[in-house]
């Protein structure tokens, strides 16, 4: 799905349009988007894309070769545009991964005592205070871990939809599985220092609705640690998919 940034009357800005197809016709790169917005929030009909290769574009008659390669003008509510106009008009592309039959949803909460900041290698760091989740891998597997925080649009702050706190998630190699405070490979418990060898995967640290990491793991014990800034109180649903 793609999020539009332009303020043109040709489409509705700040809304998401599913990207359903990409094609190249006679050297021109094209993108087909679905328009699910039949009406706006105020009840008015949603405007259609009126640029090149839009529903009312004369190019469908003037360039029959391209039109044939694109299987004609769409009649299902979708529309075509050039890739150059797509890049100019949209500022975000969201790639959706469909869940497999093996997925798990876990919930946790950061408090002033369980938010230890991001992974650090200096003595005295508090990253181990973050919540920890056990992960036992029986065979070589590719695991996708997504960490989410509450939607900023539903927090009651009508002045801003921004996320004030950065979140991230780490996957570490563990040599034992206890209930909490796992023992990590290449970890010095006296100093609190974790070597680079213990880290198997990590997401970006970002002020966003969710972050994600995909990692291929060998059989063994692992620990998944969602992190948040120190002294933060926040809920965090975490999804794990194999």
Residues in the chain: 242
Quote the pTM value.
0.58
Same domain, residue pair 121 and 227: yes
Over residues 122-157, the pLDDT tens digits come to 666 677 788 888 888 999 989 999 998 877 666 555
Same domain, residue pair 88 and 118: no
Cα distances from 225 to residues 172, 179, 182, 200, 238, in angstroms, run 8, 14, 11, 12, 10
In terms of Cβ atoms closer than 10 Å to its own Cβ (0-12, 13-18, 19+), residue 154 is exposed
Query: In whole angstroms, what is the distance from residue 49 CA to residue 96 CA?
Result: 24
Given a cut of 90, whether residue 83 has pLDDT beyond it is: yes
Query: In whole angstroms, what is the distance from residue 88 CA to residue 185 CA?
Result: 47
When pLDDT is averaged across residues 100-123 and rounded to a whole number, the result is 74
Same domain, residue pair 156 and 234: yes
Enclosing domain of residue 178: 103-241
Query: In whole angstroms, what is the distance from residue 83 CA to residue 73 CA?
Result: 17
Residue 173 pLDDT level (bands cut at 50, 70, 90): confident
Last residue of a domain, one of 75, 93, 111: 93
Report yes or no on 98 lying in a domain.
Answer: no
Strand partners, 236: 108
Same domain, residue pair 88 and 108: no
Number of domains in the chain: 2
Last residue of a domain, one of 63, 93, 123: 93
Report yes or no on 207 lying in a domain.
Answer: yes
Domain containing 137 — which CATH number?
2.60.120.380
Active-site residue numbers? 35
pLDDT-above-90 percentage for the chain: 16
Report yes or no on 31 lying in a domain.
Answer: yes
Last residue of a domain, one of 39, 71, 93: 93
In terms of Cβ atoms closer than 10 Å to its own Cβ (0-12, 13-18, 19+), residue 211 is buried
């Amino acid at each position: 799905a793609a999020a539009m940034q332009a303020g043109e009357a040709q489409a509705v800005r700040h809304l998401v349009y599913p990207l359903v197809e990409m094609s190249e016709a006679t050297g021109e790169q094209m993108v087909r988007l679905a328009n699910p917005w039949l009406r706006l929030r105020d009840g008015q009909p949603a405007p259609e894309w009126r640029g090149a290769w839009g529903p009312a574009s004369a190019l469908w008659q003037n360039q029959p070769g391209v039109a044939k390669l694109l299987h004609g003008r769409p009649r299902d509510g979708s529309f075509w545009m050039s890739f150059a106009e797509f890049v100019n008009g949209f500022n975000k592309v969201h790639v959706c991964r469909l869940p497999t039959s093996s997925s798990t949803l876990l919930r946790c909460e950061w408090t002033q005592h369980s938010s230890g900041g991001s992974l650090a290698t200096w003595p005295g760091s508090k990253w181990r205070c973050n919540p920890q989740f056990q992960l036992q891998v029986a065979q070589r597997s590719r695991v996708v871990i997504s960490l989410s925080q509450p939607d900023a649009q539903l927090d009651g702050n009508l002045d801003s939809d921004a996320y004030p706190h950065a979140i991230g998630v780490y996957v570490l190699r563990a040599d034992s599985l206890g209930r909490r405070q796992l023992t990590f490979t290449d970890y010095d418990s006296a100093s609190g220092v974790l070597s680079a060898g213990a880290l198997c995967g990590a997401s970006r640290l970002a002020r966003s609705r969710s972050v994600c990491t995909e990692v291929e793991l060998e059989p063994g014990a692992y620990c998944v640690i969602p992190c948040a800034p120190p002294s933060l109180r926040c809920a965090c649903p975490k999804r794990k998919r194999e």
